Structure 1
Amino acid sequence: MLIKNNCPYTVWAAASPGGGKRLDQGQTWQITAASGTTQARIWARTKCNFDASGKGSCETGDCGGVLECKGYGKAPNTLAEYAIDQYEHQDFIDISNIDGFNVPMEFSSNSPGCTRVIKCTADIVGQCPNELKVPGGCNGPCPVFNTEEHCCNSGNCGPTNFSRFFKERCPDAYSYPKDDPTSLFTCPTGTNYKVIFCP
């Protein structure tokens, strides 16, 4: 999996599994995902400050105050999510705004047998509803309100006005937990992927 920063600013890429790495504009980072990997995600952290031992913090996407992420990042963060070699040797890939949005993103493959491009590049931070605005990002409604309606812990929910705000701007990305039909994509296992910040 190739991760590339095309943003005109530095991002601190994060991957679970994978860790983390500072990427200045144009820099890349290669990570590998083992067959059977599930619930994996890649995201960008912004405005980070780490000391020589790799401790510090980020304005968005912070993962426990360390450069080398061990767990998931703090909302808001635009997520590239994937699972490798699942049912019938398929990979499942998606972009999610359920945890909000911080950096425009592309998650794509250009392998024989699977050319798929998922993008979320709208000005979500600039247009963010007041209730969801935070410095550097636009929170998802679940992290803000923590209600069944927005978080869907029971697995039985529909879109809300807030989730529609994200869906209208990024139709290929998850806007609420039950958004699978328009947001989850498959490729054959063995496909090569890339995640681009600010495509």
Structure 2
Amino acid sequence: MDARASFYLLLPFLALLARDSCADKAGAATLNFANKCSYTVWPGTLTGGSSGQLSSTGFELATGASFSINDIPETWSGRVWGRTGCATDASRKFVCATADCGSGKVSCNGARPIPPASLAEFTLAAAGSGQDFYDISLVDGFNLPLSITPQGSGSGCSTTSCPGNINSVCPSELAVKGSDGSVVACKSACLALNKPQYCCTGAYGTAETCPPTNYSKIFKDQCPQAYSYAYDDNNSTFTCAGGASFLITFCPLDLICHPILLGYSFK
């Protein structure tokens, strides 16, 4: 049998091998991070439920830098956020001005972000559906702009973004101020005022009884695609075919080039 005939006999097996290989890759995802802010950001990650944490639960991301986490399970749910104004204090504890996770270290190790925090949320291959769900949530308040862009096999899916600097329009009763008096984060009305109509609890515990408020509308005006309060889900959840990787960009409008949007800075 000549080499050409042998090759054609092997074609079905090669096709099967390629199909299985592609199927394996389609189920995996990568989280890519980029920092376009004019200040350093310390991203944190948190896996939901009882699943193990990712290989990196916190790291430093300088202006213009990028970073990737490649060990995302085939089915995964969790959240990502950016901490700002971080440093090691006199007791050698790592602390952040906004969205600190309280671990005392750069790695969060399963600790939740302390609000206010802008969140990127993911549920990959939800309930065996093969669909990835993702959103940006300001339900816990806002500390910095960010966006989520699907890549790879899901590259035809939509980007969702919170590009506006809500700190620059934050009402005083919601504002969190830094040591220099500038607004570094904006609390949700629920967190700041702790009333049922803002938290969608008690008599306000349904979508029908908990409409948008004047406070949530401030968040929505700046970031129309993001969740502004608990029942703001009409156009805030995005989905695409499973297997996509995702780019999380902090300050997606590149505030270095848009200083008029920058209402705060960290030294």
Return the TM-score normalized by structure 2.
0.69
- The answer for the alignment partner of 1:109 in structure 2 is 150
Instruction: Give the letter aligned to residue 176 of structure 2.
Output: V
Q: Distance in 1 between matches of 2:238 and 2:88?
A: 35
Instruction: Report % sequence identity.
Output: 39
Residue 22 of structure 1: SS of its match in structure 2?
coil
Deviation, structure 1 residue 55: 3.2
Deviation, structure 1 residue 54: 7.9
1:185 counterpart = 2:215: no
Q: Distance in 1 between matches of 2:86 and 2:201?
A: 31
Q: Describe how 1:75-94 pairs up with structure 2 within 5 A.
A: 75-87=115-127, 88-94=129-135
- The answer for the alignment partner of 1:130 in structure 2 is 172
8 Å contact from structure 2 (residues 153, 245) kept in 1: no
1:150 counterpart = 2:198: yes
Moved over 4 A (4+): none
1:55 counterpart = 2:85: no
- The answer for the alignment partner of 2:72 in structure 1 is 33
Q: Describe how 1:154-169 pairs up with structure 2 within 5 A.
A: 155-156=205-206, 157-169=210-222
Range with bigger deviation, 149-158 or 129-138: 149-158
- Matched residues, number: 197
**Which string of whole-angstrom CA distances, capped at 9 and with x for unpartnered residues, describes residues 61-100 of structure 1?**
0001331112211111111011111142111100011111
Instruction: Flag the structure with larger Rg.
Output: 2
Q: Distance in 2 between matches of 1:85 and 1:112?
A: 13
Structure 1, unpaired ranges of 5+: none
Instruction: Give the letter aligned to residue 104 of structure 1.
Output: P
Residue of 75, 78, 81 corresponding to 1:43? 81
Residue 187 of structure 1: SS of its match in structure 2?
strand
Higher helix residue share? 2
Residue of 15, 27, 36 corresponding to 1:6? 36
8 Å contact from structure 1 (residues 55, 67) kept in 2: no
- The answer for the alignment partner of 2:163 in structure 1 is 121
Q: Distance in 2 between matches of 1:148 and 1:85?
A: 34
8 Å contact from structure 1 (residues 20, 68) kept in 2: yes
Q: Distance in 2 between matches of 1:27 and 1:196?
A: 10
Structure 2, unpaired ranges of 5+: 1-30, 48-53, 178-183, 253-267
Residue of 114, 137, 155 corresponding to 1:96? 137
8 Å contact from structure 2 (residues 141, 188) kept in 1: yes
8 Å contact from structure 2 (residues 144, 165) kept in 1: no
Deviation, structure 1 residue 12: 0.7
Instruction: Give the letter aligned to residue 97 of structure 1.
Output: L
Higher strand residue share? 1
